[in-house]
C-alpha cells in the first residue's frame, strides 16, 4: 500500500507541475499575441 501511496503522490506532483507550466505557457502566449497585435 505504501508503494501505491508514493506513486499517487508523485503523479499528483507531476500533474501539479504540468498544470502550472501550462498556465505559464498560456499566459506567455497571450502576452506574445498582445505584443504582436501592437506591432
- Domain-by-domain residue ranges, the chain? 1-38
Alpha-helical (H) ranges within the chain are: 2-38
Q: How many residues does the chain have?
A: 39
pLDDT at residue 39 in the model: 63
Burial 7-34 (b: 16+ CB within 10 A, else e): eeeeeeeeeeeeeeeeeeeeeeeeeeee
1-39: pLDDT as tens digits: 788 889 989 999 999 999 999 999 999 999 988 888 776
pTM over 0.75: no
Amino acid at each position: 500500500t505504501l508503494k501505491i501511496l508514493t506513486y499517487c503522490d508523485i503523479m499528483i506532483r507531476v500533474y501539479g507541475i504540468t498544470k502550472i507550466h501550462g498556465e505559464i505557457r498560456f499566459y506567455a502566449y497571450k502576452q506574445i499575441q498582445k505584443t504582436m497585435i501592437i506591432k
